[in-house]
């Protein structure tokens, strides 16, 4: 795969020691991507779910529901696919904006940012960031959702 360290390497190793596996990963090759973000000042954008809510990881491990993808950043191939997912998510969870944000953030994922999973049919994929990756510097909010 790679000899570079992922940003949350320790947590990934903890899950791997418990038997959870990393998905197949590939290089992003300057892939255009979209993510949900918050336009509110002080909101921590581009933080994986397990890092924004560490108790969830402990709870998921205890219930054998842990998943390495919750240490990655959820992304979408296109703004259209991201918006479609966002609308569907709001139907089932009207308060989703409190945790994932209220806006669309777009940018390019370069090979030195990390490794990605293959996009699913709905355009979703995960970015496993390298230690020095900071999407706050390269992704910009482009649209209020």
How many angstroms separate the CA atoms of 54 and 38, rounded?
A: 20
Closest CA to 102 of 47, 141, 76, 49: 141
- pLDDT-above-70 percentage for the chain: 99
Q: Cβ neighbours of residue 54 under 8 Å, at least 6 residues apart?
A: none
pLDDT digits (tens, 9 = 90+) for 6-55: 999 999 999 999 999 999 999 999 999 999 999 988 888 999 989 988 88
Is the whole-model pTM more than 0.75? yes
- pLDDT-above-90 percentage for the chain: 77
Q: What is the rounded average pLDDT for all residues in the chain?
A: 93
pLDDT digits (tens, 9 = 90+) for 100-116: 899 999 999 999 999 99
Token digits of residue 53:
């809510």
pLDDT digits (tens, 9 = 90+) for 115-130: 999 999 999 999 999 9
**What pLDDT, on the 0 to 100 scale, is given for residue 96?**
87
**What pLDDT, on the 0 to 100 scale, is given for residue 42?**
83
Asked whether the predicted pLDDT for residue 2 surpasses 80, the reply is: no
Burial of 97 (0-12, 13-18, 19+ CB in 10 A): middle
């Amino acid at each position: 795969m790679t000899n570079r360290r992922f940003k949350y390497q320790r947590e990934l190793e903890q899950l791997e020691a418990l038997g959870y596996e990393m998905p197949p990963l590939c290089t992003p090759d300057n892939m255009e991507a979209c993510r949900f973000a918050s336009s509110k000042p002080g909101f921590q954008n581009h933080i994986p779910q397990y890092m924004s809510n560490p108790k969830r990881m402990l709870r998921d491990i205890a219930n054998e529901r842990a998943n390495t993808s919750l240490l990655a950043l959820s992304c979408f191939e296109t703004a259209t696919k991201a918006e479609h997912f966002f609308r569907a998510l709001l139907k089932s969870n009207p308060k989703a904006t409190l945790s994932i944000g209220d806006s669309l953030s777009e940018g390019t994922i370069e090979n030195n940012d990390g490794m990605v999973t293959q996009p699913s049919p709905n355009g979703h994929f995960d970015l496993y960031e390298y230690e020095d990756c900071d999407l706050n510097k390269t992704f910009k909010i482009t649209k209020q959702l």
